């Protein structure tokens, strides 16, 4: 949380901006951040999708910069969103799991983009489509208006606790309606986060008139992949409406638009390749996400091919908005990548290649009962130095993987045994970050969260099934070389693993 200078209260700032607006437009552009829940980059036509057409997002990309290779920090909704809005990976911001006291809430000490905009004089608001980005996870910090979901339990006549799912998610058309209602009354400049969720949920489908041609089975259920593709198209339709209505409201200073996803989804190809069709894993289908930027200060018709991360969004936006960028964050300003001219390179030297990090702490997440079906998914850490991707499983080192993404973009050929020096380099980089979680989190301090997440299909209600919650793993600290089964090397970092003996 940013301490507010005593003379710069919201009221005084609003008064000053209000006086300024009597004579001239504010100089600062407004900002719209759109996060698409559970939306893979390769389902947008500007990323090459043949299954879905997304003309609004394609048009946004043409009016700005599209980043072809963007990695999310996690495949769990609040964890990944916390990275987008702090510029920090999970170990830095502290929100690591969906359910677990001590790890399931963004600490108030975190500094968010909304807090910086709020302090800088922007009118801040968030309008959401589902519970996992609610106030409960600490993602409301800095928002003057926060359209959150509050889960309410209901006890039926048999004593069973149930959840009114309708109160925990909404379709994108309703979210956009609520956004535009807020924006009509907003002060300029405004900072707005819109979270859209349709592809996450197979029961909250677009209107029947939009679903014509999508095959259904005998029970009326839509074909899951065709439904997913059509839901992405429905998002696109709502984004078109949102952009058309919102741009005039930003005034002459203009509107910066940033669009990304928190994570992707395994779907049928992920199931075929890696045996998993949902999220909570870290293959490309789960963490390759779209990233598009457009508006004042952003060039048109650019595509950036270098590896970037969703943590890079915050420092890029603070630069565009003229706000100070917090020190010590993981993200880096993206502008040098789209500027990219020889003159720029000569001025600043070579651009440092970006490594990317992602994690899943499923083994200590009270909501991740999927680890019973996928024990290899309990603890996952990814380190990417393109083209190399290390997929490290410290509780099962022998099932870890190393991929060459340039030759194997679908991550099917494990080179861990045949490229030990590469594996050692990447695992050393990972170990030096010390991202490990070796103690279980406490039981969630509000059982309502468990019920709400289960109602949304988050995977099985482990707290109800196992009241004791996740159990400790028998960690043993070893050197990087020992973890990889290599001869001892001087200067090795250490890390925790679980051995079979
Ligand atoms: Zn999500």
pLDDT of residue 354: 83
Q: Distance from the CA of 84 to the center of ligand 1, in angstroms?
A: 12
Extract the runs of DSSP E, i.e. beta strands, from 233-320. 255-261, 288-289, 291-294, 302-309
Q: How confident is the model at residue 460 (pLDDT cuts 50, 70, 90)?
A: very low
Q: Distance from the CA of 75 to the center of ligand 1, in angstroms?
A: 7
Q: Distance from the CA of 349 to the center of ligand 1, in angstroms?
A: 37
DSSP character for 191? Answer: E
CB atoms within 10 A of CB 120: 19
Task: Examine the pLDDT at 221 and tell me if it is beyond 60.
Answer: yes
| Element holding 389 (H helix, E strand) | strand 388-392
pLDDT of residue 500: 76
Q: For helices 224-249 and 267-274, give the axis angle rounded to 10 degrees.
A: 130
Q: Distance from the CA of 255 to the center of ligand 1, in angstroms?
A: 25
Q: Whose CA is closest to 187, among 142, 234, 124, 232? A: 124
Min mean pLDDT across 44-53, 196-205, 338-347, 415-424 is at 338-347
Q: Distance from the CA of 76 to the center of ligand 1, in angstroms?
A: 6
Average pLDDT in the 315-329 region?
A: 96
Q: Distance from the CA of 282 to the center of ligand 1, in angstroms?
A: 13
CB-based burial label for 140 (10 Å; 0-12, 13-18, 19+): buried
**Using one digit for the tens of pLDDT, what is the confidence trace for 58-87?**
999 999 999 999 999 999 999 999 999 999
Q: What DSSP letter does each residue of 16-81 carry, written as one string?
A: HHHHHHHHS--SSPEEEEEEETT--GGGSGGGT-SS---HHHHHHHHTEEEEEEEE-S-SSHHHHH
Task: Examine the pLDDT at 467 and tell me if it is beyond 90.
Answer: no
Spell out the domain ranges in the chain. 17-348, 356-497
| CATH for 17-348, options being 3.50.50.60, 3.40.50.720, 3.30.300.10, 3.40.720.10 | 3.40.720.10
Q: Looking at domain 356-497, does it have CATH number 3.30.1120.10?
A: yes
**Using one digit for the tens of pLDDT, what is the confidence trace for 167-199?**
788 999 999 999 999 999 999 999 999 999 999
Min mean pLDDT across 195-204, 371-380, 412-421, 459-468 is at 459-468
pLDDT of residue 343: 57
Q: Distance from the CA of 199 to the center of ligand 1, in angstroms?
A: 10
Q: CA 338 to CA 70: how far, in whole Å? A: 14
CB within 5 A of ion ligand 1: which residues? Answer: 37, 77, 262
**Using one digit for the tens of pLDDT, what is the confidence trace for 225-245?**
999 999 999 999 999 999 999
Task: Examine the pLDDT at 159 and tell me if it is beyond 80.
Answer: no
Task: Examine the pLDDT at 326 and tell me if it is beyond 50.
Answer: yes
How high is the mean pLDDT of the chain?
Answer: 89
Average pLDDT in the 449-477 region?
A: 67
């Amino acid at each position: 949380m940013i301490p507010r200078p005593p003379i710069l209260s919201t009221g005084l700032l609003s008064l000053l901006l209000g006086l300024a607006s009597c004579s001239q437009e504010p100089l600062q552009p407004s900002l719209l951040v759109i996060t698409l829940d559970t939306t893979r980059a390769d389902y947008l036509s500007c990323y090459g999708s043949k299954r879905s057409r997304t003309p609004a997002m394609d048009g946004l990309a043409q009016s700005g910069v599209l980043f072809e290779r963007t990695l999310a920090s996690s495949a769990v909704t609040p964890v990944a969103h916390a990275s987008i809005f702090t510029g920090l990976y999970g170990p830095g911001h502290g929100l690591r799991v969906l359910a677990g006291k001590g790890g399931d809430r963004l600490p108030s000490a975190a500094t968010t983009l909304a807090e910086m905009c709020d302090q800088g004089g922007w009118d801040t608001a968030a309008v959401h489509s589902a519970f996992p980005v609610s106030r409960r996870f600490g993602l409301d910090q800095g928002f003057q208006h926060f359209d959150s979901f509050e889960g309410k339990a209901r006890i039926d006549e048999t004593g069973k606790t149930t959840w009114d799912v309708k109160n925990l998610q909404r379709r994108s058309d309703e979210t956009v309606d609520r956004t535009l209602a807020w924006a009509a009354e907003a002060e300029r400049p405004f900072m707005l986060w819109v979270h859209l969720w349709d592809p996450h949920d197979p029961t909250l489908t677009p209107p029947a008139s939009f679903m014509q041609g999508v095959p259904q089975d005998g029970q009326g259920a839509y074909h899951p992949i065709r439904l997913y593709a059509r839901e992405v198209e429905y998002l696109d339709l709502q984004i078109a409406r949102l952009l058309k209505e919102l741009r005039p409201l930003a005034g002459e200073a203009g509107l910066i638009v940033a669009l990304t996803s928190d994570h992707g989804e395994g779907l049928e190809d992920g199931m075929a390749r890696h045996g998993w069709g949902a999220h909570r894993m870290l293959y490309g289908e789960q963490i390759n996400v779209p990233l598009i930027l457009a508006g004042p200060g952003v060039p048109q018709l650019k595509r950036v091919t270098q590896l970037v991360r969703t943590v890079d969004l915050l420092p890029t936006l603070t630069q565009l908005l003229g706000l100070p960028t917090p020190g010590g964050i993981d993200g880096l300003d993206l502008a040098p990548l789209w500027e990219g001219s020889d003159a720029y390179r000569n001025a600043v030297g070579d651009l440092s290649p970006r490594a990317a990090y992602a994690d899943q702490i499923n083994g200590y997440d009270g909501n991740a009962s999927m680890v019973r079906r996928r024990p290899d998914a309990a603890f996952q850490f990814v380190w990417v130095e393109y083209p190399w991707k290390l997929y490290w499983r410290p509780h099962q080192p022998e099932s870890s993987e190393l991929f060459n993404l340039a030759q194997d973009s679908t991550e099917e050929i494990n080179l861990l045994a045949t490229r030990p020096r590469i594996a050692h380099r990447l695992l050393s980089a990972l170990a030096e970050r010390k991202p490990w979680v070796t103690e279980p989190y406490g039981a969630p301090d509000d059982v309502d969260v468990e019920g709400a997440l289960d109602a949304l299909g988050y995977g099985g209600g482990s707290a109800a099934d196992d009241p004791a919650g996740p159990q400790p793993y028998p960690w043993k600290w070893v050197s990087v070389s020992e973890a990889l089964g290599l001869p001892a090397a001087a200067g090795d970092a250490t890390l925790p693993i679980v051995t079979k003996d």
